[in-house]
Structure 1
Amino acid sequence: MRKVKFVPTGEGPEDLKGSLLVTGFMGFGLVGFIATDFLLNKLKPKKIGYFVTKYLPEQVSYSEERGLELPFELYYKEVDGKKILILMNRWIPVTVERFAYADYVVKWAKKRGVEAIYAFGGLDNSYKEEPKERLRWVKTRHYDGPLPEGKPMTGGLKVIGPLALLLASAEVRGVKALAILPFCESMRQDPRASAVGLQEFARIVDLSLDVSELVERAESIESELERLRKMLESGATGRESHYM
């Protein structure tokens, strides 16, 4: 078989011209994964197909709402008059076909008249130049739409992984693409960073989207981490007192 192919469910619209394709990967802070997963749960889109690779990752999941969930699925819904495509990457393609996967998605999108690709990724908090910075962004030269409120990613910083390959393919193939990169906690999942990215995406495409659930999830995680930190500090203090 070809390295990558698209298998439709037969439930999607025939005309996808003018759609916005939204996606992300399991990168730093799981920002892209959390953002796209949130959109699935919030917007309740219809599953319209699968991207199948030659070396498909050996994992599936199941939900009562969506049934069997494959590694790379495509969803669709019209929201606020906009055609939204959500590419859900539940895993990362194997190394030997990562570019083939990213390039196929870009070619598929261009062939069907997708207006632009929006992708989410995470950028480690340590690269902030100012404490109040929330995100950076990267775009292809073909993207001429509104930009996030923040600086472009410059100064030697690099996008890596499948997201980089997606941007590279879009640049070469003349596709409008914008990567939104909120600063995040790179060593753990960071729903707050995903919320920042989604808020900017909603603003620049004029979409109504409430991300308060992600903020609440972030606060819960941060509260638990703070509780564990205090518990560990208390334990250390107790041991030191015992040996004084």
Structure 2
Amino acid sequence: MSAMREFKRQSIRIIITNEKLFEEFREAKKCIFISGFKGYGMVGYITVTHIVEHLKCERAGVVITKYMPEAITVDKNGIVSPFELYVCRGTDEMSIMALVNHDLPDVRERTRYADTIIRWVTSIGVNEAVFFGGFDARYRVGDEKLRWVATSMWTRKLEEPKMESGLYIIGPLALFTLFSEIYKLPALVILPYAETSRPDPRAAAIAVETFAKLYGLSIDTRELYEKARLIEEKIMELEEQKEAMQAPPGASERVYM
């Protein structure tokens, strides 16, 4: 059995499990790295997993941390680890690598996690990064669907407004953005307005559509909108049940003159 390629920095190890797929990714003229986390509305996580599924990406590696979450699951391809690397076979012009964070890195090593990942992707020739998160819907000021932030090396602009000064990105997403700035990786953060108290597939659909438009891709989002509809219907049903329980006995039968 041949040794697997590995990149290690401090307590974080990146292990390539599919060398052929990894090399195919690096051979493209433009290499794109994407990622997100389970933040507001779980937008980052839902967006990345949807892209991975619909572009038929394949698992190419895993990330191992010192304080590894002690949980795994399975999918159609076998064991699913907390932090996985996928490669989406594109064309000679462009290829995509996705880091799927099924869990959050332990708070004790989130800085090392972000530092290692971004340092590594710059070392393997990634040209651009796109990160996804949710933006608290309470800060919406017009009819725009999202806000965005970019590092100083990013040269393109979106039609939507940028995030205003005085507001903050927090958590691992902030660290990924910070280290992209430090290591001069052109990076864009797409932040659709999202519900903060529940998963928001509708916001994720907006993120997917924005990403697809940016790179000329075709990614179906109907499934996300359908999930959003079902969630919203369930919430409405629960609200109606709550109101019915709080109403005084016989209230629905009263007649007011």
| 1:236 counterpart = 2:225 | no
Q: Secondary structure at the match of 2:170?
A: coil
Cα distance change on mapping 1:239 and 1:125 into 2, 3 Å:
farther
| 1:44 counterpart = 2:53 | no
| 1:68 counterpart = 2:76 | no
CA offsets 1:44-83 (integer angstroms, 9 cap, x no match): 21100011111111121111x2211111100002236520
Whether the aligned pair in 2 keeps the contact of 1:51 and 1:72 (CA below 8 Å) is: yes
TM-score by length of 2: 0.88
Whether the aligned pair in 1 keeps the contact of 2:52 and 2:88 (CA below 8 Å) is: no
C-alpha distance in 2, partners of 1:215/1:93? 29
C-alpha distance in 1, partners of 2:88/2:44? 19
Cα distance change on mapping 1:117 and 1:234 into 2, 3 Å:
same
| 1:27 counterpart = 2:39 | yes
Q: Which residue of 2 aligns with 1:91?
A: 103
C-alpha distance in 2, partners of 1:175/1:239? 63
| 1:226 counterpart = 2:230 | no
Cα distance change on mapping 1:215 and 1:79 into 2, 3 Å:
farther
C-alpha distance in 1, partners of 2:22/2:194? 36
Q: Which residue of 2 aligns with 1:138?
A: 149
What letter matches 1:58 in structure 2?
E
What letter matches 2:33 in structure 1?
L
Picking from 16, 19, 23, the partner of 1:8 is 16
C-alpha distance in 1, partners of 2:246/2:100? 43
Q: Which residue of 2 aligns with 1:122?
A: 134
Q: Secondary structure at the match of 1:101?
A: helix
Whether the aligned pair in 2 keeps the contact of 1:25 and 1:33 (CA below 8 Å) is: yes
In angstroms, what is the RMSD of aligned CA positions? Answer: 1.8
Give the Å deviation of 1:237: 1.9
What letter matches 2:190 in structure 1?
I
What letter matches 2:73 in structure 1?
S
Give the Å deviation of 1:220: 0.8
Query: Within 5 A, what are the aligned runs for 1:93-112?
Result: 93-112=105-124
Q: Which residue of 1 aligns with 2:71?
A: 59
Question: Percent identity at matched positions?
Answer: 35
CA offsets 1:169-214 (integer angstroms, 9 cap, x no match): 0101111111000000000000000000111111111111111110
TM-score by length of 1: 0.93
What letter matches 1:5 in structure 2?
R
Give the Å deviation of 1:238: 4.4
What letter matches 2:201 in structure 1?
P
Give the Å deviation of 1:155: 3.4
| 1:159 counterpart = 2:183 | no
Q: Secondary structure at the match of 1:19?
A: strand
- When the two structures are aligned, how many residues end up with a matched partner? 240
Structure 1's unaligned 5+ residue stretches are none
Q: Secondary structure at the match of 2:22?
A: coil
Picking from 73, 77, 89, the partner of 1:78 is 89
Whether the aligned pair in 1 keeps the contact of 2:34 and 2:129 (CA below 8 Å) is: yes
Whether the aligned pair in 2 keeps the contact of 1:31 and 1:193 (CA below 8 Å) is: yes
